[in-house]
Amino acid sequence: MQAVSGKRWALTLVSGVLQVLIFPMAGPVPAWRAVLCWLALAPLLVALLDAKPLKMREFGVLGYGCGVLWYLGSCYWVMPTMYLYGGMSKPAGFGILLLFALYLGLYHALFSVLIGLLRRFWSAGYVLLASPFVWVAVELARARITSFPWDQLGVAQVDNPLLTLLAPWGGVYAMSFVIAAVNALVASWWVLEKHSWKPVVAGVCVATAVQVGGWAKERRDEGHLRSLPLPKQHAVLLQGNLAESGPEAPRNGDADSLLTAFVQLSLGKADLRPQVIIWPESPAPFTTSDPKFRQTIGTMTQEVNSASIIGAEGIELDSAAPGGYKAYNSAALFATDGSYRGHYDKVHLVPFGEYLPFPSLFQFAGGLVAEVGRSDPGHFRTVFRPDGHGYGTFICYESIFADEVRQFVKGGAEVLVNISNDGWYGDTSAPWQHLNMARMRAIENRRWVLRDTNTGVTGAIDPYGHLREQASRHIRTAIAVGFDFSDEMTFYTQFGDLFAYGCSLVVITLLGYGAFRERQTASGATAPGALE
């Protein structure tokens, strides 16, 4: 394999850096960085499709380098999480981050290889036209195959109320498609032989119209929101602010004192007669089967005549399970009369956090699982109905899976509840990245999301993705927030990732038809890569 030119590598690295900058790094994304999404893929496309053709392995290497760089920069929080809570040294923590990036970087390599395959059958112009379809297809593969759709391209524009109008139709994938299409137009001047400015100008005009239009719509919406009636319902969200490890972390003997403290905080915000009281996923040693836990929460719930959704550990005796029991990351439901009505068990667990995939291969990462606590997966996406209304509760990591969250709404959830423990990530980018993905779930399904976390960001997200009310981070507090129920069913809620599957079908069709045409022209009448 010949050496890839320095110019191509420089373009690839620029693309990787731009893809890091468009997502949160240690707080909300400034507007100027979010704008960079309209350029972030263009350098990679130029590197892949510049005049001199590449071999297939070179396509893969360039994409892989871009992907590894992106994951190292965007998901750097993996390293401190591993050495602070996984019992690892800093070098070992970096090693885990590197392995993580080397693995997930394969999806950028897949994107680049698919671009290379299309270039074998089609001209560069047609490949540019196809590139948004390829990008969306690869994002879908990342969500379905490795179950890590973290920071999909469209999430970079979650604050753009104009572009997010697409989300209730095609999900975040429709937004990713538009962004990737603009990048293809920008790249066209360097890729196409005629060096026409028309596609570039078109891309700049589209990006400018969407970005400026989004800012204008945001200002208009702010005025409109102030004129709307206040939400009719109220919820109390408790933020426990418990330490994850060390001497300040809660122990089993702390359950009673924590119950007392949390109940007092919750009752202190109950003067608005809340519809529901919510406690987060947290390290608190609460178990759904504990009689004291049930009695205390039941009494609180009955006193304020509110339903309660409480993060706790679910224990189920099972002689066939390790240790003789199964442990679930659960949300317990109490009705307004104080009765315990069951629980939802987290279905989609965090690899290396709540379970260890391939234990014989990854024994060195078992420390974090031991620290967090082994969990077993639940089996059903239960919609709670404590008061005649449907509550869809998803736990922590589940918020990044658009297709899974929309199933709660399709099953009758009139409001979404996200309980999470982002305390593992400290003040890194992860809590803010996680928040933005929860905001996308609100937009896609046009539902309020009541987001309750251990350390922040805790607050109420409206159906358009605005964080309307929030608690300060890293303090123990309870806040009362407004929300409303809704029975609207968006196209995305009903049909899920249909748009993304359609993009995948387009890519498969182009590859199949190109291969068919190549065989038909094997006599040499038409050179590979020149099919029009």
pLDDT digits over 485-504, tens only?
Answer: 999 999 999 999 999 999 99
What mean pLDDT do residues 8-24 have?
Answer: 96
Q: Is residue 26 part of a domain?
A: yes
Q: Clarify whether residues 137 and 257 are in a common domain.
A: no
Q: Count of domains in the chain?
A: 2
Confidence of residue 320 (pLDDT cuts 50, 70, 90): confident
d(CA 162, CA 311): 35
Please say if the pLDDT value at position 122 is more than 50: yes
Smallest Cα–Cα separation from 184: which of 45, 63, 52? 45
Q: Is residue 28 part of a domain?
A: yes
What mean pLDDT do residues 172-200 have?
Answer: 88
Q: Clarify whether residues 80 and 103 are in a common domain.
A: yes
Indicate if the alpha-carbon torsion angle 454, 334, 459, 272 is positive or negative: negative
Q: Clarify whether residues 36 and 134 are in a common domain.
A: yes
Six token digits for residue 232: 């009719």
Q: Clarify whether residues 309 and 205 are in a common domain.
A: no
Please say if the pLDDT value at position 227 is more than 70: no
Ranges 83-92, 234-243, 472-481, 494-503: which has the least confidence: 83-92
Six token digits for residue 159: 């604050």
Smallest Cα–Cα separation from 453: which of 402, 514, 397, 405? 397
Element (H, E) at 235: strand 233-239
Please say if the pLDDT value at position 433 is more than 60: yes
Mean pLDDT of the chain: 89
Within 8 A by CB and 6+ apart from 209, the residues are none
d(CA 486, CA 400): 22
The DSSP-derived string for 251-308 is -GGGHHHHHHHHHHHHHTTGGG--SEEEE---S---BTT-HHHHHHHHHHHHHHT-EE
List Cα–Cα distances, 128 to 64, 104, 115, 133, 301, in angstroms: 19, 24, 9, 10, 58
Higher pLDDT, 155 or 6: 155
- Domain encompassing residue 83: 6-225+497-520
List Cα–Cα distances, 44 to 29, 112, 142, 235, 278, in angstroms: 23, 9, 19, 46, 45
What mean pLDDT do residues 338-359 have?
Answer: 78
Q: Clarify whether residues 484 and 462 are in a common domain.
A: yes
Strand-pair partners of 203: none
**DSSP three-state, residue 485:** coil
Smallest Cα–Cα separation from 207: which of 184, 231, 173? 184
Structural contact between residues 245 and 84, judged by C-beta atoms closer than 8 angstroms: yes
Six token digits for residue 221: 């919406």
Whether a cis peptide bond, with omega within 30° of 0, leads into 172 is no
Smallest Cα–Cα separation from 55: which of 109, 107, 117? 117
Cβ-based neighbour number of residue 174 at 10 Å: 22
Please say if the pLDDT value at position 425 is more than 60: yes
Ranges 114-128, 356-370, 498-512: which has the least confidence: 356-370
Q: Clarify whether residues 456 and 502 are in a common domain.
A: no
What mean pLDDT do residues 447-464 have?
Answer: 96
Task: Determine the Cα angle at 400 with ends 399 and 403, to 5°.
Answer: 90
Q: Clarify whether residues 369 and 220 are in a common domain.
A: no
Ranges 104-118, 130-144, 372-386: which has the least confidence: 372-386
Please say if the pLDDT value at position 32 is more than 90: no
pLDDT of amino acid 520: 82
Structural contact between residues 178 and 163, judged by C-beta atoms closer than 8 angstroms: yes
**What is the DSSP-derived secondary structure letter of residue 411?**
T
Structural contact between residues 502 and 173, judged by C-beta atoms closer than 8 angstroms: no
pLDDT of amino acid 369: 47
Instruction: Give the CATH number, domain containing residue 280.
Output: 3.60.110.10
Please say if the pLDDT value at position 38 is more than 80: yes
Ranges 8-17, 102-111, 365-374: which has the least confidence: 365-374
pLDDT of amino acid 355: 56
Element (H, E) at 98: helix 90-104
Higher pLDDT, 175 or 397: 175
d(CA 209, CA 226): 26
The residue whose two tokens read 């317990």 is 332
Whole-number percent of the chain with pLDDT over 90: 65
Cβ-based neighbour number of residue 232 at 10 Å: 10
What mean pLDDT do residues 377-406 have?
Answer: 94
Which class for 514: exposed (0-12), middle (13-18), buried (19 or more C-beta within 10 A)?
buried
Q: Is residue 331 part of a domain?
A: yes
Confidence of residue 268 (pLDDT cuts 50, 70, 90): very high
What mean pLDDT do residues 319-333 have?
Answer: 84
Please say if the pLDDT value at position 410 is more than 90: yes
Please say if the pLDDT value at position 253 is more than 80: no
Q: Clarify whether residues 177 and 246 are in a common domain.
A: no
Please say if the pLDDT value at position 371 is more than 80: no
Please say if the pLDDT value at position 208 is more than 90: no
The residue whose two tokens read 């929080």 is 77
Q: Clarify whether residues 509 and 447 are in a common domain.
A: no
Element (H, E) at 13: helix 6-21
Please say if the pLDDT value at position 477 is more than 80: yes
Structural contact between residues 141 and 96, judged by C-beta atoms closer than 8 angstroms: no
Q: Is residue 390 part of a domain?
A: yes
Higher pLDDT, 98 or 206: 98
d(CA 143, CA 403): 9
Q: Is residue 420 part of a domain?
A: yes
Q: Clarify whether residues 320 and 264 are in a common domain.
A: yes
Ranges 293-302, 350-359, 467-476: which has the least confidence: 350-359
Q: Clarify whether residues 212 and 260 are in a common domain.
A: no
Q: Clarify whether residues 142 and 271 are in a common domain.
A: no
